[in-house]
Amino acid sequence: MKHGVAFRKFSRTTSHRMLMLRNLVTSLFEHEQIKTTLPKARDTARLAEKIITLGKKGDRSAQMRASAFLLKPEVLPKLFGTFASRYAERPGGYTRIHKFGNRPGDNAPVAILELVDNPRDLRFEITARAIGREVLQDKLRTEKPINLIKTGVHSTQNIIETEKKLEFGQTGMLRPKTRWNMQKMLRFRNQDAVSQLSRNVGNYIDHLMATPIAMKNLHDRERRKTVTGEFALRAGQTAPGDTRSVLDLSQGRLGLRQLRSGPVLTANYIFGRKPKAR
């Protein structure tokens, strides 16, 4: 019977496995967002949480233990400075794992491991897009799209501040799940996060309103090019009024060449014609 067998071995020796995890934790602190396999991300997150706790302590013993674990000394000021102040009020949960499909080749599950509240926080952007989509849907119930395109949506910050104060069970503009994600994300952030979230929501609303117009303009421009002949036709395509044969159409660009004038040499033409009289 095996006792004390815990955690993953990753088909590596103890020294190799620990060096790999130390390297992943160092890369996580350096870039604040890394992509690796899902099992490695889970073990890396477990160790990263402990090292950030050492950074929040900030004493001499914690500095020595952290410097002995991390592979790059230039990450230590970031740990005891930026991360310690960022997570000062947060009791735990400094990392987040996003599943990212499977890796081509061996089909291994891939995940994105990131630090919470980092400048490129994926959850922050996902929540901003969800809020922008729901706010735009609510506005379209009472206003016409052309009016929203001309005036825009300027009350996003007031909407976010109002939804942030709502309690569980109360109704608002946002769905309960979206409101819960927003409140959880803004719980340990400062007031500047509300302004940043409002800007991201406004940018995504502008993107949603501008995308159909841009796609329509692009479609009309490509259609005009095709009709006027400025756009090169691909194999099998034909312009209105084109009378070329299927063989010429299948040749694509080669089908645009001018055919030689004169008879086409076929068996019927060669053997069916009468000989000239001498």
Q: Mean pLDDT over residues 202-222, rounded?
A: 79
Higher pLDDT pick, 256 / 97: 97
Q: Which residues of 123-159 are buried (b: 16+ CB within 10 A; e: fewer)?
A: ebeebbbbbbebbbeebeeeeeeeeeeeeebeebeeb
Q: Are 80 and 105 in contact (CB under 8 A)?
A: no
Higher pLDDT pick, 245 / 3: 3
pLDDT tens digits, one per residue of 32-44: 999 999 999 999 9
CA end-to-end span of the chain, whole Å?
Answer: 109
Share of the chain above pLDDT 90, in %: 59
151: which 2 tokens? 């005036």
- Pick from 140, 189, 142, 133: nearest CA to 164: 189
Q: Mean pLDDT over residues 139-151, rounded?
A: 83
Choose the weakest-confidence range: 23-27, 129-133, 209-213, 263-267. 263-267
- What are the φ/ψ torsions at residue 227 (nearest 5 degrees)? -70, -40
- Give the H or E element holding residue 179: helix 176-186
pLDDT tens digits, one per residue of 163-175: 999 998 888 999 9
Say what the pLDDT of residue 54 is.
96
User: How far apart (Å, rounded) are the C-alpha atoms in residues 226 and 240?
Assistant: 9
Q: Are 45 and 7 in contact (CB under 8 A)?
A: no
Say what the pLDDT of residue 38 is.
96
- Pick from 262, 197, 256: nearest CA to 230: 256
pLDDT above 70 for 269: no
Say what the pLDDT of residue 235 is.
56
268: which 2 tokens? 């019927």
259: confidence class by pLDDT, cuts 50, 70, 90: very low
pLDDT tens digits, one per residue of 122-141: 999 999 999 999 999 888 88
Higher pLDDT pick, 253 / 268: 268
Helix residue ranges, H only, the chain: 14-31, 38-57, 60-69, 76-77, 84-86, 122-140, 145-151, 156-165, 176-186, 192-228, 246-250, 267-272
How much is the pTM? 0.73
Can you tell me which residue has the tokens 């004493």? 59
Higher pLDDT pick, 274 / 27: 27
User: How far apart (Å, rounded) are the C-alpha atoms in residues 154 and 199?
Assistant: 10
Q: Please give the DSSP secondary-structure letter assigned to residue 79.
A: I
Q: Mean pLDDT over residues 268-276, rounded?
A: 55
Average pLDDT in the chain: 84
Share of the chain above pLDDT 70, in %: 78
Say what the pLDDT of residue 207 is.
86
pLDDT above 90 for 149: no
Helix then strand count (H, E) for the chain reads: 12, 3
255: confidence class by pLDDT, cuts 50, 70, 90: very low
User: How far apart (Å, rounded) are the C-alpha atoms in residues 197 and 203?
Assistant: 10
User: How far apart (Å, rounded) are the C-alpha atoms in residues 84 and 134?
Assistant: 35
User: How far apart (Å, rounded) are the C-alpha atoms in residues 70 and 227?
Assistant: 63
Q: Mean pLDDT over residues 181-193, rounded?
A: 91
- State the amino acid at position 240 in one-letter form: P
Q: Mean pLDDT over residues 248-262, rounded?
A: 53
Helix%, strand%, coil% for the chain, nearest 5: 60, 5, 35
Q: Mean pLDDT over residues 106-131, rounded?
A: 95
Q: How many CA atoms lie within 13 A of 242 on its CB side?
A: 17
